[in-house]
Structure 1
């Protein structure tokens, strides 16, 4: 495989990142009957890129952006043993690059940034039925922690 470089996203990446966002939504739609009808968006990507308390990264090979992810500093609940934590989101890898460790490299870069910010806790959310995502996150050290339940 060609060399993969992890770098901070820029405003110039917004077009491809918006395409990735729709890929995330498409992948998650089967797991969530509460998602509104298309078109929807999850993130204000331009704001996240400019936010000092966030880091949006992309994986790039041969000038092509192939994956993304972000870390965002969030306040913790008042009863926890930490004031803030890093929330990871927007994990997307182009299908042809999946299973090659690209997401693990993105997570590692986001972990480094989070620890450099003094954060000791890193969290993400994943749908309970999304077993392939759960497996990928467990592979890089995440553990299941809590399940959100709903009644409709």
Structure 2
């Protein structure tokens, strides 16, 4: 498995895997499939190149993209893990863990000690996965922008040190 940041040349791969994620779990993300599918090639190129607020990493197995994760710094200067998704047939194989590790390492490299994400507590598998990696729920809730009937809760990564 290889994890690497996207480049502009990855725009088609990023588009394909992002649309696959939105088709697979439409109520888990802050954007809808229709909205993402309507983005132009130039928008996808900019996104893949990191010419915008988000930065993305892809996971590859045998040259095939099997997962993605993104990061964006919010207006409150919080480093947010976003767009996390792994193809169903690769779940439980370490891909998701490697993607989250890449994003948290990027946060540290960029000088952020705090990484947050939003997840619906009803998405029990995702919530358990994030807890296993050291994220804890915060008492902060909001409606999911793409599906206002879905409430998400903020989680914060608690960095594990060598001593504990």
TM-score in terms of structure 1 length: 0.76
Q: Note the alpha carbon deviations across 1:97-151, whole angstroms, 9 max, x for none.
A: 1111111111111111111111121111112321111112112111111222568
Gaps of 5+ in 1: 77-83
Q: What is the CA RMSD across the aligned residues, in angstroms?
A: 2.8
Q: Distance in 1 between matches of 2:93 and 2:64?
A: 16
Give the structure with the larger strand fraction: 2
Gaps of 5+ in 2: 150-164
TM-score in terms of structure 2 length: 0.71
Match of 1:22 in 2: 19
Give structure 1 regions of 4+ aligned residues with deviation exceeding 6 angstroms.
none
Q: Distance in 2 between matches of 1:24 and 1:138?
A: 21
Matched, 1:124 2:121: no
Q: Note the alpha carbon deviations across 1:25-75, whole angstroms, 9 max, x for none.
A: 23433569x976x52229854333323864311111221111111111223
* Count of aligned positions: 139
Q: Distance in 2 between matches of 1:121 and 1:95?
A: 29
Match of 2:5 in 1: 8
Matched, 1:139 2:132: yes
